[in-house]
Chains A and B, each alone.
Chain A
């Protein structure tokens, strides 16, 4: 048979109307609100030369801020991965009064404006606050330390892991666990070798979403962080500081670096996730 090889068309012809206007509007809208501004982020750091970019991002203060933003986000995501899995498990598998309410409240960190969460957390963990006062006698301080930054990021990232795992756990057929039981596996063995691998890709998705969100977080952090230079100053705050000094190139440089590190991290996590999923564990 002589297969007619055609060049790939831009759009497959369709019986439904509106492709041109709808695509046109979408592209203009995206360009105006997203792509043009992002182009500025990519182009503007270099206007005072590469040296300026290098000096801004290798400055001790910048490095410390980046380290804090990414480090605290990573630790917060780890904490949420562990507890998020437990919460998802409990919500899917067990029945207890108030469960539905609890389920609804998992999303609160999405719904509550970050500034509101920020001042509440700062109040709770300040040395005079509800929890801060409990810890003060042991000389443990959370507010105005890197620990405080992490606490805020735990709040922001909490729902991601739960919401990623929940549907997978719900869809997991009971037969799988029954089969493991009939084959003589203990409950622990079944969970470790059958259930956990099934939710692992979702767990990784939740982890990366949680971390991505935490890295750029601002509102909930700045109140509890105390913003002490080289100690509890996060990268987004540094951007604002550069802007206030009208150092647009410096601000853009930090923003660009943050985006790049995030992209690389997400890319790596996606890679791991794809690897796990491909091993047929899903």
Chain B
């Protein structure tokens, strides 16, 4: 940054005070909890840390979390691409309403996101009993977890792509069409390369949220150990059993993943600023 204009120069004491205040607040609100996770996880030494993680229940939780994210994220990626193509490449009645609806899951409490699936597929749900008769159990099962996670993370990819594709316009795609390219060729050779970093960004945020989702999942999972407990739920189970070291050890894995997400996100933002819509993350 070049030297600020004299009109923007603040008294040095004030500057120092504000910086200290900002750093202090961030430290208290953000750093301290993060630090605590690692301190508590390692409180009884590295061996206790690893034995906290190395339990079959924890491994199943990790596996379950990866499976859930592995289904929810691709689903929402395809959805995001389809929704962004619809909204940014065509002009149709009710478009703004559609964009608002896509955004809706952001303003719904995660617990409500879980609740509404119970209302449909739970034991007293609209479709629950019939499905049960057919031998299909959605709630207290991995299916329910996937549904709730998909809903909570539904807007991430679409939200990232829509503003970017809107800004880019459809000139390049129109050009490809006049040159004789069909729809798929245009999409894969022209659209996709233009949005690849934004897509990656959206997928990253979507994955982070899918792996960490707690509220919605805890409503539909039933928290059956080793079966329907995802990593965040496993953290809760261990914590409530006063097995703090193990709880924080599992939590530290999630925290590490969060840090990696932040790092990748920061790099993407720094290198490809023009190719991202820089959405607000929620």
Contact = CB atoms under 8 A, between A and B. Distances in A.
The reply to whether chain A is a binding partner of chain B is yes
Contacts of A178: 5, 7
B111 A120 contact: no
A94 B214 CA distance: 37
A277 interface: no
A106 B120 CA distance: 38
Contacts of A119: 37, 235-236, 239, 247-248, 251
Contacts of A246: 123-124
B82 A96 contact: no
B33 to A, nearest CB: 4
A248 B118 contact: yes
A246 B124 CA distance: 7
Interface of A: 8-12, 14-19, 21-23, 25-26, 29-30, 33-38, 40-41, 44, 83, 86-87, 89-91, 93-96, 100, 102, 104-121, 123-124, 130-131, 154-155, 158-160, 163-164, 167, 174, 177-178, 180-182, 187, 190, 209, 212-213, 215-219, 223, 236-237, 239-240, 243, 246, 248, 251-252, 255, 258-259, 262, 266
6 contacts: A23-B92, A37-B151, A120-B251, A124-B32, A124-B33, A177-B7
Given A105-B30, A248-B125, A258-B109, A113 B8 contact: no
Contacts of B183: 16-18
Contacts of A163: 280-281
Nearest to A242: B115
Interface size class of B (residues with CB under 8 A): 35 or more
Interface stretch (B49-57, B98-106, B192-200): B98-106
Given A18-B183, A22-B86, A209-B282, 7 more contacts: A23-B92, A25-B79, A86-B25, A108-B34, A111-B262, A120-B34, A155-B33
Given A121-B33, A252-B115, A94 B18 contact: yes
B79 A248 contact: no
A216 B119 contact: no
Interface in B92-132: 92-93, 98, 101-102, 104-105, 107-112, 115-120, 122-126
A114 B152 CA distance: 13
B258 A218 contact: no
A116 B26 contact: no
A86 B22 CA distance: 6
Given A104-B266, A119-B247, A119-B248, A89 B235 contact: no
B91 to A, nearest CB: 4
A219 B261 contact: no
Contact of A112 (B5, B124, B236, B254): B254
Contact of B18 (A86, A110, A237): A86
A113 B213 contact: yes
A40 B119 contact: yes
Interface string B13-46: 0010011011101100111111011001000000
Name B's interface SS.
Answer: helix
Interface string B170-208: 100110010000110011000000000000000001001
B147 to A, nearest CB: 7
Interface in B242-262: 244, 247-248, 251, 254-255, 258-259, 261-262
Contacts of A110: 205, 208, 281-282
A212 B22 CA distance: 23
Contact of B29 (A26, A41, A155): A155
A21 to B, nearest CB: 8
Contacts of A212: 107
A116 B101 contact: no
Contact of A40 (B5, B8, B30, B116): B116
Nearest to A11: B92
A119 B258 CA distance: 16
